[in-house]
Each structure stands twice: as structure tokens, then as C-alpha cells.
Structure 1
Amino acid sequence: MAKTPIRTLRVDPELWDAAKAKAQAEGTTVSEVLIQALRQYTGQDKVHRFPGSR
């Protein structure tokens, strides 16, 4: 997987903990959840991604 820049954001601790717990229960990470949410938000969720990229 290609390296991507690290981003910083502020999130309420209770919201972060809930997101982390749900992501873990679903077998994913908060980073992946946020990436997918941003793709949907920007309309890039239908953009072709190369094999091996997330």
C-alpha cells in the first residue's frame, strides 16, 4: 500500500471511542471508515481504484 500523508483532526473523545469500538467490531479501522466517508462526501466513492489500494 502506498504511503499517504498523516492528517490531524479534533474529535470528541466519546465519539472517537465509539467509532473505534464499532470499527473494531466490524473488522476495520477508524481511518478506513473516515476515508470511505470522505470518498462518499466528495463523490469519489465510485472512482476506480487500483488493485491493492484502499
Structure 2
Amino acid sequence: MSTAVKLLAQKQRLLKQLESDPGPNERAEIERLLEKIETALSLLDQQDAARPSDE
């Protein structure tokens, strides 16, 4: 399983946790983790964009 797929799966799980109305501390932790995932996904996108295509 690729890194991006793993990150997206983790993001989906965290978003579901947010829907369950967590307490303020848990919500803050989930939001912090979501920010880290978004950063990692952005970096992966930048790496993919920098690679020459195989066309």
C-alpha cells in the first residue's frame, strides 16, 4: 500500500472521529494530526509534480 493511500485512510478515520463529537482535547489532537497528514500529502504531490512524466 502506498504512502498516499495510507495517509488518506488515516485522514478518513480521523474525519469520522470528528463526526462523533469528541471532547475539546481530543478534537485538538485530531485536528493536529489532520494538519500533519495534509502537509505530508502536499509534500508527496510536490514530489510527484517535480518528477518527469513517463509519457
Q: TM-score, normalised by structure 2?
A: 0.31
Answer 1 or 2: which has greater helix percent: 2
Q: TM-score, normalised by structure 1?
A: 0.32
Rg larger for: 2
